[in-house]
């Protein structure tokens, strides 16, 4: 609500002024007039900036105050008060003071000023001043040497890298270990392979799981590449990349302090015009996460299929029972943990589309879809982290193999004839397979009846374990 000098602010509010005039702000709020304007301007959704981004904003403002003090640009008292107030932001004590919608100004200026005002008013209070008095000024002191245009992309990089480091990578490591352990545990179990959803030559259950483990191993490498893409930050470029009103040593000193605190590596951008007019780095990071989501989708779907049944499906593995599966069918248990993973993967793939479109919004010297890029990228990281840990804990680690089921299906496969093709020829082997299918007999039974090879040689060629290893007679292996 706008106020005028002749009309006092409504009860429970205080009047604050900015360059556009006066506005009523809740009396007990740490945020100020520009945040209040943003609340009025963007009543779009219930979505707010992720906590990790707000934490990163606090890290930047705290380090900036310390560096500006060391450079002689900020007096001791306001610097100390800003550092203490920023620490409260970092620790989440002032989270309720960040009400600005994600769908706001494309540069994230509203979030930067929200942060500046909260820290300004809390620092003012720490020095004995009244909220709104600007004893510690949001622009002149808290935002010293900075612009929304370099602070917001820097905060996104910090938040994403920290969340990857402390949440996603540990979760993927646990999942990789679980899959690798199952690969070793199941290595002696031979089963039928499947291509095109049709019977194929035998494979060991452990070999299948080793493929999943390798997917996650590569996913970890991709996630680390995403982190590397985030290591260059825009801080120091200020409004358009020129570094106007910023001390030349400011960015390197601030990022050195933040790198040490977070355990992640950050450095000033090689070229500030690239760092502020684009966010190819976020697009790259999101793309790596999308690839990880595709890997997890494949693994989760395979797990669902391998555990289908328990009697009328494939049933080659048993999944841990986590909850009743039906409101009408007693005793039914569904692969719900794998299903939740597939939904997370779908969300992450969709988030990547938004980040990609956002990356195209780099107009001249500034990219103007930063808040929604931040929201989607951070959501992807957080979802992949929690879902991967849950998938490992409540599904993969508890999987057992149905060895008898795996073995019983092998002899029924017509693809067993593949091992005979190098000896009797592709067409003869195909004819044998068709006869086995027509008669309902196994390939072994038909081959023995037709005496296509000596029985000892047949038993050797049709040994399922032998078919799971490289080598043997050279010939076409099918497709």
pLDDT digits (tens, 9 = 90+) for 246-262: 999 999 999 999 999 99
What pLDDT shows up at residue 479?
58
301 and 420 belong to one structural domain = no
pLDDT band, residue 478 (cuts 50/70/90): low
What pLDDT shows up at residue 6?
47
pTM: 0.94
For residue 85, being part of any structural domain is answered with: yes
Three-state DSSP class for residue 233: strand
Report whether pLDDT(190) > 60. yes
Higher pLDDT, 374 or 418: 374
Catalytic member of 4, 46, 196, 327:
196
Which residue is associated with the tokens 């930050």?
A: 233
Reported as a single tens digit per residue, the pLDDT across 47-66 is 999 999 999 999 999 999 99
- Return the structure tokens found at 55: 């934490």
Q: Are the C-beta atoms of 105 and 116 separated by less than 8 Å? A: no
For residue 474, being part of any structural domain is answered with: no
Report whether pLDDT(399) > 60. yes
Pick from 256, 234, 258, 257: nearest CA to 246: 234
327 and 417 belong to one structural domain = no
312 and 217 belong to one structural domain = yes
Q: What is the mean pLDDT of residues 87-110?
A: 98
What pLDDT shows up at residue 310?
86
Is 107 among the catalytic positions? no
103 and 178 belong to one structural domain = no
Catalytic member of 45, 70, 265, 326:
326
Q: Are the C-beta atoms of 384 and 352 separated by less than 8 Å? A: no
In what helix (H) or strand (E) does residue 214 lie, and over which residues does it extend? Answer: helix 205-229
Mean pLDDT of the chain: 94
Q: What is the mean pLDDT of residues 197-224?
A: 97
What whole-number percentage of the chain has pLDDT above 90? 82
Q: What is the mean pLDDT of residues 199-217?
A: 96
Distance of CA 129 to the CA centre of its chain: 43
For residue 473, being part of any structural domain is answered with: no
197 and 343 belong to one structural domain = yes
What whole-number percentage of the chain has pLDDT above 70? 96
Three-state DSSP class for residue 249: coil
For residue 362, being part of any structural domain is answered with: yes
Which residue is associated with the tokens 């007019």?
A: 277
Dihedral sign from CA coordinates of 60, 66, 71, 73: positive
Rg (CA), the chain: 31
pLDDT band, residue 114 (cuts 50/70/90): very high
What pLDDT shows up at residue 329?
80
CATH of the domain at 224: 1.20.200.10
Q: Are the C-beta atoms of 410 and 419 separated by less than 8 Å? A: no
Q: What is the mean pLDDT of residues 307-328?
A: 89
117 and 194 belong to one structural domain = no
For residue 217, being part of any structural domain is answered with: yes
Reported as a single tens digit per residue, the pLDDT across 416-470 is 888 898 999 999 989 998 998 999 998 888 988 999 899 899 889 988 889 899 8
Pick from 452, 401, 425, 409: nearest CA to 200: 409
Q: What is the mean pLDDT of residues 22-27?
A: 95
102 and 171 belong to one structural domain = no
Q: Are the C-beta atoms of 50 and 378 separated by less than 8 Å? A: yes
For residue 261, being part of any structural domain is answered with: no
For residue 267, give the DSSP letter: E
Report whether pLDDT(282) > 50. yes
99 and 23 belong to one structural domain = yes
Reported as a single tens digit per residue, the pLDDT across 155-188 is 999 999 999 999 999 999 999 999 999 999 999 9
308 and 420 belong to one structural domain = no
Q: What is the mean pLDDT of residues 294-323?
A: 95
Dihedral sign from CA coordinates of 75, 80, 83, 89: negative
Q: Tell me which of 223-232, 268-277, 470-479 is least confident.
A: 470-479
Residue 73: which domain range? Answer: 13-144
17 and 86 belong to one structural domain = yes
* Gap between the Cα atoms of 142 and 153, Å rounded: 17
Which residue is associated with the tokens 């790596």?
A: 288
What pLDDT shows up at residue 13?
95
383 and 430 belong to one structural domain = no
For residue 351, being part of any structural domain is answered with: yes
- The domain tally of the chain equals 3
What pLDDT shows up at residue 255?
98
CATH of the domain at 456: 1.10.40.30
Reported as a single tens digit per residue, the pLDDT across 2-20 is 444 445 667 799 999 999 9
Three-state DSSP class for residue 369: coil
338 and 416 belong to one structural domain = no
* Gap between the Cα atoms of 435 and 442, Å rounded: 9
CATH of the domain at 33: 1.10.275.10
Is 196 among the catalytic positions? yes
Report whether pLDDT(1) > 50. no
């Amino acid at each position: 609500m706008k106020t005028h000098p002749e009309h006092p602010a409504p009860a429970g509010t205080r009047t604050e002024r900015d360059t556009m005039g006066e506005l009523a702000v809740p009396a007990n709020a740490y945020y100020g007039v520009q945040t209040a304007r943003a609340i009025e301007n963007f009543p779009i959704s219930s979505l707010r900036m992720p906590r990790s981004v707000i934490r990163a904003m606090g890290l930047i403002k705290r380090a900036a105050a310390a560096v500006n003090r060391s450079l002689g640009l900020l007096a001791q008292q306001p610097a100390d008060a800003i550092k203490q107030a920023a620490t409260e932001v970092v620790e989440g004590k002032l989270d309720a003071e960040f009400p600005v919608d994600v769908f706001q100004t494309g540069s994230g200026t509203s979030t930067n000023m929200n942060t500046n005002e909260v820290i300004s008013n809390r620092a003012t209070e720490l020095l004995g001043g009244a909220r709104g008095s600007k004893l510690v000024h949001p622009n002149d002191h808290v935002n010293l040497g900075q612009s929304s245009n370099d602070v917001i992309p820097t905060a996104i990089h910090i938040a994403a890298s920290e969340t990857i480091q402390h949440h996603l990578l540990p979760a993927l490591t646990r999942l990789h270990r679980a899959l690798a352990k199952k690969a070793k545990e199941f290595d002696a179990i031979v089963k039928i392979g499947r291509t095109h959803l049709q019977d194929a030559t035998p494979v060991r259950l452990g070999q299948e799981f080793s493929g999943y483990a390798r997917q996650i191993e590569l996913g970890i490498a991709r996630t680390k590449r995403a982190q590397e893409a985030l290591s260059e930050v825009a801080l120091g470029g200020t409004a358009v990349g020129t570094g106007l009103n910023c001390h030349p040593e400011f960015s390197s000193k601030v990022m050195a302090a933040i790198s040490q605190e977070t355990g992640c590596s950050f450095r000033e951008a090689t070229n500030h015009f690239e760092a502020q007019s684009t966010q190819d780095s976020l697009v790259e990071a999101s793309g790596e996460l999308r690839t990880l989501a595709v890997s997890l989708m494949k693994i989760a779907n395979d797990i669902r299929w391998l555990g289908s049944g328990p009697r009328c499906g494939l049933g080659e593995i048993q999944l841990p029972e986590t909850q009743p599966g039906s409101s009408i069918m007693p005793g039914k248990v569904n692969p719900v943990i794998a299903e939740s993973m597939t939904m997370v993967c779908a969300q992450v793939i969709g988030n990547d589309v938004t980040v990609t479109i956002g990356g195209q919004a780099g107009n001249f010297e500034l990219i103007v879809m930063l808040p929604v890029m931040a929201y989607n990228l951070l959501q992807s990281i957080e979802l992949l982290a929690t879902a991967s840990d849950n998938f490992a804990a409540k599904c993969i680690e508890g999987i057992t193999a149905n060895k008898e089921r795996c073995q019983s299906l092998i002899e029924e496969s017509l693809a067993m004839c593949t091992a005979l093709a190098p000896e009797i020829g592709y067409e003869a082997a195909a004819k044998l397979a068709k006869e086995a299918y027509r008669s309902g007999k196994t390939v072994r039974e038909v081959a023995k009846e037709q005496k296509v090879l000596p029985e000892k040689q047949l038993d050797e060629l049709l040994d399922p374990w032998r078919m799971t290893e490289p080598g043997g007679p050279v010939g076409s292996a099918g497709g």
